[in-house]
Structure 1
Amino acid sequence: MYKTHIFGKPTIIVCKPELCRQVLTDEAKFIPGYPTTMKTLFGKKSLHAVTKEEHRKLRRLITTPISSHAALEMYIDHIERTVISGLEEWSSMEKPLELLTTIKQLTFKVIWNIFMGSTPIKSTSIREMETFNDDIVLGFFTMPINFPGFSFHKALLARKGLHEILQSILDEKRMVKKSKGENWEAKDMMDLLMEVRDEDGEGFDDETITEMIFSMLFGGQETSAFTSMWAVLFLTDNPHIFQKAKEEQEDIIKRRASTQTGVSLSEIKQMKFLSQVIDETLGLSSIAFATFREATVDAEING
């Protein structure tokens, strides 16, 4: 445990498991306290910024709609189509790929299709959003200096541009929903968030929906890309593990009905060994370097 400065603020770094447990379980003395850059870029209505009571309410309202079996089946279809398209594109290339860069581009498309895939969008807009996202990522881990030439300033501009795109998509979705009436059905995560109602029958406003999509877009893309890259590297270095994982997949396909055209949720639940591979990869390669807490009172830890 030692003192330092991170993102312009005095900070205590705690490393040992027993000391981390003391900080993370004492909610009276230590509350979530993200750096200024993160809080500003995530927005005041994201899950990272709301109070504990609001956070619990939001999680309670959105967990079931966006994580139900029907929703997961919907996501699987989006993921499979996007990944197959990406693999076909890679196989046709005549020069080596930059692994992380290529996987980041693919995971962005996957997450985009899960969140808003039912709304057609030009490939140029996708590339623009990828650029916005990259600029925002760089702004998270820098000094909060909002002045031209600094990463944080560039990240704020990128955030504004990405939110404008998200808002335009949400506006279009609301128009389509209104025109179709009872014939409208949810086809992606943004659609599902538009349907959420609390105990008083109130739905989310536009800002809440765009802030949640924005924060999940960042949280999902970077972590998924890095984990996928490390999985490829670990499986390459351990061919016997790769072979066992491959055999599990082949066995599932052999037992599949001849009329089935895509991966199903029940098949994913059968992938026991692959699940272990994923867990081991996450244990070895997490890019989350820290969890942030802010002390509400003077507190003594380990003397």
Structure 2
Amino acid sequence: MGIELLRSFVAIVAATYVILFGFLKKINEWYYVTMSEKKQNPLPPGHMGWPFIGNMWSFFKASNSQDPDSFIDNLVKRYGRTSIYRTHLFGSPSVIVCSQELCRKALTDDEHFSYGYPSSAIQLGGKKSLYGISNSEHRRLRRLIADPINGHQALALHIEDVVITSLEELATMNRPIKFFNEMKTIALNVIAKVSLGSTQDSILWSMVKYYTELSPGILSMPINIPGFAFHRALKTKDELDERRRKTVAERKKGMMDLLMEVENEIGEKLEDEHIIDLLLLILFSGRETAAHTAMWVRLELDLEHTNINEEQQAIEKTILPESLTLTEIKEIEYLPKVIDESLRRNYFAFAIYRKVVADVNINS
């Protein structure tokens, strides 16, 4: 009798769970589909998941697995190869596009799309970072930052010194190395040198600490409650902002000096908040992207490839590698193509985010 009662209880709990959460998913689906019926263009196939949570559980499960593409693969299996699907991620209704043609439309149409990163990234990146500003402000800020940095020979020499020194140290090691980990260390050294003017161990370890604690919150549910990744990342950001304010006040040598002197067309300079948020973005994105690019270039580069061998031999005959200037490096023809192709084939970011600012049909 006791076993039968237990079975009945379990069956009732399971049925209640299925009915309750099935009902909630239906409500969420009904709400967004009904809202979309007021628009001229219908929603693509897909489902909105649970209220507020959406499909984040399955998204995180896929992204943390050995097969992150399984999130998209499941949509393809369920709704066909339409290359466009509706879903609900990071607390917002979303549409995923995953074909070359549709991605090009979304990334080049400034009339209907603006930069639109998840709320967690905007809050942690800062109001003045490249995450949370308009298209026009994004272009203006990138131009202000890139122009003085790209033409700054001293900054290029700082980077070169750090990289050469790091590679020479690796060459002296009589043991196998983990290439990707070493590339991350070199990238961190470069970031510390050009942005903070130092590669001291204390500064590097503090940057590693901040990065380790901040990174999980960048793409997470924006839940500011103890125990959640976003809450921990917000606390870390406050500590990091305070450290960077002191660094800005001390006017360290390097990229920070350049950013503090940048002026726009009417003579306005970047605010300290702009500089702090930009340095945080460099810390977050620069380390991983540089390391991944270096790793994939090394893995995919055929050392016997005629074109690049001929180019490198020609450079060695005319210019000593240690005397190459930034201008001469930019004139190298084939090597940048290898890097660009590696970026195209093995782009680090899982997704590029855009915000729809007007109803649009991109799959007609």
TM-score bracket for this pair, using the shorter chain length: 0.7 to 0.9
| Structure 1 residue 202 corresponds to structure 2 residue 268 | yes
Go from structure 1 to structure 2 and tell me whether the alpha carbon gap of 1:22 and 1:277 turns closer, same or farther (over 3 Å shift): closer
Name the SS for the 1:239 alignment partner: coil
Aligned residues: 281
Quote the offset at 1:161 in angstroms.
2.7
Quote the offset at 1:97 in angstroms.
1.8
* 1:162 aligned residue (237, 240, 265): 240
CA distance in 2, matches of 1:153, 1:20: 32
| Structure 1 residue 292 corresponds to structure 2 residue 356 | no
Contact 2:192 2:203 in 1 (8 A): no
Quote the offset at 1:62 in angstroms.
3.0
Report matched runs for 1:116-127 at 5 Å: 116-117=196-197, 120=198, 122-127=200-205
Quote the offset at 1:200 in angstroms.
4.1
CA distance in 1, matches of 2:98, 2:216: 25
Report matched runs for 1:77-226 at 5 Å: 77-117=157-197, 120=198, 122-173=200-251, 188-226=254-292
Name the SS for the 1:171 alignment partner: helix
Name the SS for the 2:202 alignment partner: helix
Q: For each residue in 1:7-29, what CA deviation from the matched residue of structure 2 results, as whole angstroms up to 9, or x when unmatched?
A: 23322111223322333333333
CA distance in 2, matches of 1:231, 1:147: 41
AA aligned to 2:220 is T
Quote the offset at 1:211 in angstroms.
1.1
Quote the offset at 1:129 in angstroms.
0.4
Q: For each residue in 1:186-238, what CA deviation from the matched residue of structure 2 results, as whole angstroms up to 9, or x when unmatched?
A: x5221111112234433222111111222233232221110101111113xx3
Name the SS for the 2:355 alignment partner: strand
Contact 1:77 1:262 in 2 (8 A): no
AA aligned to 1:214 is L
| Aligned-pair identity (%) | 41
Quote the offset at 1:279 in angstroms.
1.8
Partner of 1:177: none
Partner of 1:256: 319
Report matched runs for 1:272-291 at 5 Å: 272-291=333-352
Quote the offset at 1:248 in angstroms.
3.2
Partner of 2:107: 24
Contact 1:31 1:294 in 2 (8 A): yes
CA distance in 1, matches of 2:315, 2:104: 41
Q: TM-score, normalised by structure 1?
A: 0.82
CA distance in 1, matches of 2:334, 2:356: 41
Go from structure 1 to structure 2 and tell me whether the alpha carbon gap of 1:102 and 1:201 turns closer, same or farther (over 3 Å shift): same
Mean Cα displacement is larger for which, 124-133 or 156-165? 156-165
Q: TM-score, normalised by structure 2?
A: 0.70
CA-based RMSD:
2.5
CA distance in 1, matches of 2:350, 2:242: 30
Contact 2:116 2:131 in 1 (8 A): no
Partner of 2:148: 65
Partner of 1:269: 330
Name the SS for the 2:114 alignment partner: strand
Contact 2:115 2:133 in 1 (8 A): no
Name the SS for the 1:240 alignment partner: coil
Q: For each residue in 1:71-103, what CA deviation from the matched residue of structure 2 results, as whole angstroms up to 9, or x when unmatched?
A: 1x2232112111122112223334322222221
Name the SS for the 2:251 alignment partner: helix
Go from structure 1 to structure 2 and tell me whether the alpha carbon gap of 1:160 and 1:101 turns closer, same or farther (over 3 Å shift): farther
Contact 1:105 1:130 in 2 (8 A): no
Contact 2:110 2:135 in 1 (8 A): no
Name the SS for the 2:95 alignment partner: strand
AA aligned to 1:245 is I
Quote the offset at 1:246 in angstroms.
5.0
CA distance in 1, matches of 2:137, 2:341: 33
Go from structure 1 to structure 2 and tell me whether the alpha carbon gap of 1:96 and 1:21 turns closer, same or farther (over 3 Å shift): same
Unaligned runs of 5+ in 2: 1-83
* 1:4 aligned residue (76, 83, 87): 87
AA aligned to 1:165 is R
Go from structure 1 to structure 2 and tell me whether the alpha carbon gap of 1:65 and 1:269 turns closer, same or farther (over 3 Å shift): closer
Contact 2:223 2:231 in 1 (8 A): yes
Quote the offset at 1:247 in angstroms.
5.2
| Structure 1 residue 240 corresponds to structure 2 residue 304 | yes
AA aligned to 2:257 is D
Unaligned runs of 5+ in 1: 175-186
Go from structure 1 to structure 2 and tell me whether the alpha carbon gap of 1:56 and 1:255 turns closer, same or farther (over 3 Å shift): closer
Partner of 1:230: 296
Q: For each residue in 1:107-158, what CA deviation from the matched residue of structure 2 results, as whole angstroms up to 9, or x when unmatched?
A: 11112222232xx463122111022123322222222222333222222223
Q: For each residue in 1:150-189, what CA deviation from the matched residue of structure 2 results, as whole angstroms up to 9, or x when unmatched?
A: 2222222232232223222211118xxxxxxxxxxxx522
